[in-house]
Homo-oligomer: A and B are copies of this chain.
Amino acid sequence: MVPASLTVLPVSGLPEIARGADLASMIAGAVALAEGDVVVVTQKIVSKAEGRMVEIDPADPVAKRRLAESEAVRVLRRRGELVVTETRHGYVCANSGIDLSNVAEGTAALLPEDPDRSARRIRDGLRARTGRLVAVVISDTFGRAWRRGVVDVAIGCAGIRGIVDLRGSRDALGRELVATEMCLVDEIAGAAELVMGKASGVPVAVVRGVDPSALGEGSVIGEVVRPYAEDLFR
């Protein structure tokens, strides 16, 4: 089987997102979706639509760190103003995922309460508006323990599996692959970021051509987040 090519389309022209905004309706109006598309939505507009903005004193140098700690179940490391935390969802990331860029001065965006649920809502809304069954990935920008630079990863998903298990598949030489559990949703989130850019104000992208065998019910929190007990590095 030779897979087909993949296309990543930026979705631009969305208005500034306010609390209560109907993201599915806005996305459906901005791009023609096809069955099996994966719609990647950046966390920030989800947080804005869900009213996850809080006030923060821009003159207080420790306000962000205090807010990050209040959003964490565990502080793993500190360095200067950076704290690496475990959020209540189980994500390990800088500053509990709190973000001060692309939001109004004096406010900060918290992560959605349940990004898998956010993804399901948008997926259901897109289906209602377009008649098409698509998958949705909510993405955010995370650092990595051993690699410099940040990448976009999935913090929530719907209509696509968080982990695709290739156990039992055969490699190209016909031997069974012992364990290759691919995290396609993270690769999809990163692919979407390539057409978004951090500074260009493109908060949604469509990834078209994802292997249909990856589609189905899925969850980032349930499948991708590594439980504390399984962790070798926390």
- List the interface of chain A (C-beta within 8 A of B): 1-10, 12, 76-77, 79, 84, 91-92, 101-105, 141, 144-153, 162-164, 166, 169-173, 175, 177-178, 180-184, 186-188, 190-191, 193-202, 207, 209-211, 223-226, 230-234
Contacts and interface: CB of A to CB of B under 8 A. Distances in A.
Contacts of A4: 10, 195
17 contacts: A1-B200, A4-B10, A76-B232, A101-B178, A141-B182, A144-B144, A145-B234, A146-B231, A147-B153, A147-B183, A151-B186, A177-B198, A184-B194, A186-B190, A187-B194, A191-B194, A194-B209
B3 A196 contact: yes
B7 A183 contact: no
B77 A233 contact: yes
B177 A225 contact: no
Contacts of A166: 197-199
A85 to B, nearest CB: 11
Contacts of A84: 232
B147 A226 contact: yes
Given A9-B5, A171-B102, A151 B224 contact: no
